[in-house]
Chains A and B, each alone.
Chain A
Amino acid sequence: MADFLLLAFIFLAAGVIAVPIASRLGLGSVLGYLLAGIAISPLLAALHVDIISIQHFAEFGVVMMLFLVGLELEPKLLWEMRTKLIGLGGLQVGLTTLVVTAISMALGQPWTVSLAIGFVLALSSTAIVLQTLNEKGLMKSDGGQSSFSVLLFQDIAVIPILAVLPLLAMPEVVELAFAAAEGGAHADDAHHGNGDHGTSLNLIAGFPGWAQMLATLAAIGSIVVVGNVLTRPLFRFIAWARFRELFTAAALMGVTGIALLMSVVGLSPALGTFLAGVVLANSEYRHELESDIDPFRGLLLGLFFITVGASVDFALLTANLGPILAMTFGLMALKAAILFALALIFKIQGSARWLFTLALAQAGEFGFVLLSFTTQNNVIPSAVADQLLLVVALSMLLTPLLFIAFDKIIAPRFSESSTREPDDIEGDSGIIIAGHGRFGGIVNRMLRGAGFKTTVLDYSSEQLEMLRTFGFEVFFGDATRPDLLHAAGIDSAKLLVICIDDREHITTLAKYMKAHHPNVEVVARARDRSHVYELYAAGVRNIVRETFDSGVRAGRFAYEVLGLHPFEAERLARQFTEDDRHTIRLLSEVYREDLPLSENPEYVALAKRLMEEREAQMKGGGRGFTTRDERGWVPPGKNDLTAILSDHAKRKGES
């Protein structure tokens, strides 16, 4: 226990100290974690910590990240990406593998070892690249999407690579193997550790090929079906209990369950959760899931980067400094060149081309997995593998520097295109409606009716399901939670309309907005007059009393029924509204949060005065409020008229 606490503390402290410094220096969180890892590596060595197994555990962060990426990617978008995915991704993996293989053969390695090295180094680091792209808001940009396509393809490619690698240990059977149907014949050797953990849960490895195929399809099918059909009832079931942490538990359960299922059928867990994410991308629970999983993803990835940093074997590095550095730089240059060529072929333009080239020029965490796998299977001699491990780690270490280079040198040159990019960076609407009940529903209908896209958050799952069936885009969750607001896109929002009905929640949310997002316009629902004061004090200026306007309309109808001319009724109603707003504004100014209204002397005095003024007017036979415009339509009185006419007469005389 104490061991665990000590270890946890070391990792957390390293991250907490290093990441803010790195961010402050503009280096990004990934480099911060990596450096933290390097910094604590002597300590970890002294404690005899098994970094590699921690790393395997931390790789689950990648699984979570792909789930989150999937959530952001609607099936439609994924379909639109298909050319890039297969074309760009396939060519990147294929070409890089070929060239690396050729080079290492030229360097004197046997072709089997060379091919294995080719596979290992062809893959890039999903963790670093996606984390950084997200951090920089480049995920939805052209360069980001292209990079993502390639990473996704690599993720898929890991599966056949894992199947082929063991064969390389026995070159004599390779020919045979390629002739035989894939999978079955050598499944025993290929204890397909699932790509990310190295644990070997594959239960179907011994099945004949067709059965494996069926099991795989069934697993994927079940993700799609369960995601579509079961999520809703499950969440509704949980919503009953009204415990926040249960949602988190359910979300984690879902992700781990899928990862497990994928491992069982020998697929990549990351791929499975990605698929689940895509399935749920259209769901109203999307933002809830996102905000539940996101902290775990962040922590695990952080841990993962720390372990990458910590696993750099400095003894080996200093002993072979020249060759290893040369290999690292050579590898990155080679990968970059291939990426650049692909970018040209696929017509990726401007700064996106450079982003694509620089972002994916490293080897990645799959490299670690494949390396340990190859050594287990005696494909690559461990002396070579150790050096390659260093190359992979160093290239990952250098990647943040390439991103910085992109930011500082390349992006400014294309500043025109990069200022245009944010437009399509977020599919989010920029308008968030918190609460979709009787109040928010009207606001939402009005905005949509005028052609605006809205993002709706609500805590009632029945309400949401009803709306879903009408094709509205609505999300489940408690809008007062900052993380959910974040997931719904508050950081880039123009407007938040607070339509929830709980008075305290409204005020809390208003205050939060004032403190953290002062630039987002807020329109807030107020329960009553005193709530208006409260919100006014919280800094909100667009405050709407929930029943005021309907009350005014009812009053106007009453006027009409009593025989007032409709236009007069309208003007009286308008004037009443103006007068009431005016007094409420005056009273808001003297409202004090720390005092009840009746104990606030200034408030009491002003309220009294305003009331007296209006009473006096009514006693004088007038109304409690007068319509200013009325004077415009009342002709001058008899006396005025005589005066006017005599003026005219005089003027006539003068001229």
Chain B
Amino acid sequence: MAQRFDRPWRLNASLQHGMDPPLTRVLLYYAHPGHRYSHSNKAMWDLAQKVDGISRVDLYSEYPRFNIDIDQEQQRLLDHDVVVMQCPLFWYSTPSLVKEWIDLTLEHGFAYGHEGTQLKGKTLLMALTAAGPHDAYSKEGYQRYPLRTFLTPFEQTAHLCGMEFASPYVLFGSLRAVEDGRIPPHAEGYRRLLEAYRDDRFDLTKASELDVIEAEHLNDLIKD
């Protein structure tokens, strides 16, 4: 077990800096194959660096050749309570490496199935950016379904693993968000959201009443 302390993403780093241990251990995954061209996700990721006491993994950076280290990933999951998956919406789903990560990491016997109870009680929070505007993601809109419909595979994945699927944090109209000046508030909100999760100040019950959470909802959901 001693080797655990060598891992850079361990929370102990913050403990050693004399801080109180976080109430909730947050593990932030980020996946964007075109990070270099990103606006919204990049801004979010940059601010997330400022949040102390959480662990962060850039999946495409760690596994550029898709050579996922299953043992390491499972250990990461074991060591945390909340798993955040931040990525852009690509074809109503996640970028492909996330799928690969799910396929390999959520093994039978570990995450689900016989004796696969290791993730029970943990929470999965998706943080997504979608080019389509919010109103397009409705029965009447051109995307024809609400966003949550597209996320059902992930919701059910979490459910099968005994995890809570929290209401996702979403930036709609992401491509126009730069012009509209919506990126800074969304990124700032993201930071607050992560901190609130970390400190157990996020009202999960209230949040669960919402299909998706946008930056403007945060004031209602975060307890001070």
Q: Write out the residue numbers on chain B whose beta carbons fall within 8 Å of the beta carbon of A568.
A: 35-36
Smallest CB–CB gap between B152 and chain A, Å? 24
Say if the beta carbon of A76 comes within 8 Å of chain B.
no
Say if the beta carbon of A602 comes within 8 Å of chain B.
no
Nearest chain-B residue to A647 (Cβ)?
B142
Q: Is A652 within 8 A of B34, CB to CB? A: no
In the complex, which of the residues A569, A635, A636, A641 has the most CB atoms of chain B within 10 Å of its own CB atom?
A635
In the complex, which of the residues B33, B131, B136 has the most CB atoms of chain A within 10 Å of its own CB atom?
B33
Q: Is B64 within 8 A of A569, CB to CB? A: yes
Q: Is A567 within 8 A of B33, CB to CB? A: yes
Q: Is B37 within 8 A of A635, CB to CB? A: yes
Q: In the complex, A636 Cα to B36 Cα: how many Å?
A: 15
Say if the beta carbon of B60 comes within 8 Å of chain A.
yes
Say if the beta carbon of B17 comes within 8 Å of chain A.
no
Q: In the complex, A633 Cα to B36 Cα: how many Å?
A: 10
Q: In the complex, A635 Cα to B37 Cα: how many Å?
A: 8
Say if the beta carbon of B149 comes within 8 Å of chain A.
no
Q: In the complex, A641 Cα to B177 Cα: how many Å?
A: 12
Say if the beta carbon of A634 comes within 8 Å of chain B.
yes
Say if the beta carbon of A48 comes within 8 Å of chain B.
no
Smallest CB–CB gap between A446 and chain B, Å? 16
Say if the beta carbon of B114 comes within 8 Å of chain A.
no
Q: Write out the residue numbers on chain B whose beta carbons fall within 8 Å of the beta carbon of A567.
A: 33, 35, 60-61, 64
Q: In the complex, A114 Cα to B61 Cα: how many Å?
A: 90
In the complex, which of the residues A567, A630, A635 has the most CB atoms of chain B within 10 Å of its own CB atom?
A567
Given contacts A635-B131, A635-B175, A641-B175, contact A630 B64 (CB under 8 A): no
Given contacts A635-B131, A641-B176, contact A565 B61 (CB under 8 A): yes
Q: Is A633 within 8 A of B37, CB to CB? A: yes
Interface residues on B, range: 10 to 19
Interface flags, A606-642, vs B, CB<8A=1, else 0: 0000000000000000000000001001111010010
Q: In the complex, A25 Cα to B91 Cα: how many Å?
A: 69
Q: Write out the residue numbers on chain B whose beta carbons fall within 8 Å of the beta carbon of A634.
A: 34, 37
Say if the beta carbon of B65 comes within 8 Å of chain A.
yes
Contact of A565 among B36, B131, B136, B142 (CB under 8 A): B36
Smallest CB–CB gap between B58 and chain A, Å? 8
Interface residues on A, range: 10 to 19
Q: Is B35 within 8 A of A648, CB to CB? A: no
Say if the beta carbon of A347 comes within 8 Å of chain B.
no
In residues 18-51 of chain B, which contact A (Cβ within 8 Å)? Answer: 33-37
Contact of B33 among A633, A635, A636, A648 (CB under 8 A): A633
Q: Write out the residue numbers on chain A whose beta carbons fall within 8 Å of the beta carbon of B62.
A: 566
Q: In the complex, A635 Cα to B91 Cα: how many Å?
A: 12
Nearest chain-B residue to A651 (Cβ)?
B142
Smallest CB–CB gap between B112 and chain A, Å? 29
Say if the beta carbon of A570 comes within 8 Å of chain B.
yes
Smallest CB–CB gap between B202 and chain A, Å? 30
Interface flags, B172-192, vs A, CB<8A=1, else 0: 000110010000000000000
Nearest chain-B residue to A630 (Cβ)?
B34
Q: In the complex, A641 Cα to B175 Cα: how many Å?
A: 8
Q: In the complex, A638 Cα to B142 Cα: how many Å?
A: 20
Interface flags, A403-427, vs B, CB<8A=1, else 0: 0000000000000000000000000
Q: Write out the residue numbers on chain A whose beta carbons fall within 8 Å of the beta carbon of B131.
A: 635, 641
Q: In the complex, A80 Cα to B65 Cα: how many Å?
A: 49
Q: Is A566 within 8 A of B60, CB to CB? A: yes
Q: Write out the residue numbers on chain A whose beta carbons fall within 8 Å of the beta carbon of B34.
A: 630, 633-634
Q: Is A565 within 8 A of B35, CB to CB? A: yes
Q: In the complex, A376 Cα to B164 Cα: how many Å?
A: 101
Smallest CB–CB gap between A601 and chain B, Å? 42
Q: Is A648 within 8 A of B142, CB to CB? A: yes
Q: Write out the residue numbers on chain B whose beta carbons fall within 8 Å of the beta carbon of A652.
A: 142
Q: In the complex, A247 Cα to B175 Cα: how many Å?
A: 75
Q: In the complex, A635 Cα to B175 Cα: how many Å?
A: 8
Smallest CB–CB gap between A633 and chain B, Å? 3
Q: Write out the residue numbers on chain B whose beta carbons fall within 8 Å of the beta carbon of A566.
A: 60-62, 64
Nearest chain-B residue to A648 (Cβ)?
B142
Smallest CB–CB gap between A604 and chain B, Å? 37
Q: Write out the residue numbers on chain A whose beta carbons fall within 8 Å of the beta carbon of B179.
A: 638
Nearest chain-B residue to A636 (Cβ)?
B175
Contact of B60 among A565, A636, A638 (CB under 8 A): A565
In residues 125-182 of chain B, which contact A (Cβ within 8 Å)? Answer: 131, 136, 142, 175-176, 179
Q: In the complex, A630 Cα to B61 Cα: how many Å?
A: 16
Q: Write out the residue numbers on chain A whose beta carbons fall within 8 Å of the beta carbon of B60.
A: 565-567
Q: In the complex, A652 Cα to B142 Cα: how many Å?
A: 8
In residues 67-85 of chain B, which contact A (Cβ within 8 Å)? Answer: none
Q: In the complex, A575 Cα to B157 Cα: how many Å?
A: 35
Q: In the complex, A633 Cα to B97 Cα: how many Å?
A: 13
Q: In the complex, A473 Cα to B60 Cα: how many Å?
A: 41
Smallest CB–CB gap between A459 and chain B, Å? 36
In residues 188-216 of chain B, which contact A (Cβ within 8 Å)? Answer: none
Smallest CB–CB gap between A361 and chain B, Å? 62
Q: In the complex, A4 Cα to B75 Cα: how many Å?
A: 84
Smallest CB–CB gap between A477 and chain B, Å? 38
Interface flags, A531-573, vs B, CB<8A=1, else 0: 0000000000000000000000000000000000111111000
Q: Write out the residue numbers on chain B whose beta carbons fall within 8 Å of the beta carbon of A633.
A: 33-34, 37
Nearest chain-B residue to A569 (Cβ)?
B64
Taking A633-B34, A635-B37, A651-B142 as known contacts, 15 extra A-B pairs with beta carbons closer than 8 A to each other, sorted by chain A number, are: A565-B36, A565-B60, A565-B61, A566-B60, A566-B64, A567-B35, A567-B64, A568-B35, A569-B64, A570-B65, A634-B34, A634-B37, A638-B179, A641-B175, A648-B142
The interface of chain B, by Cβ under 8 A from chain A, is 33-37, 60-62, 64-65, 131, 136, 142, 175-176, 179
**In the complex, the 4 A-B pairs of residues with the closest C-beta atoms, listed nearest first:** A633-B34, A570-B64, A567-B60, A567-B64
A-B contact pairs, 19 of them (CB 8 A): A565-B35, A566-B60, A566-B61, A567-B33, A567-B35, A567-B60, A567-B61, A567-B64, A568-B35, A570-B64, A570-B65, A633-B34, A633-B37, A635-B131, A635-B175, A638-B179, A641-B175, A648-B136, A648-B142
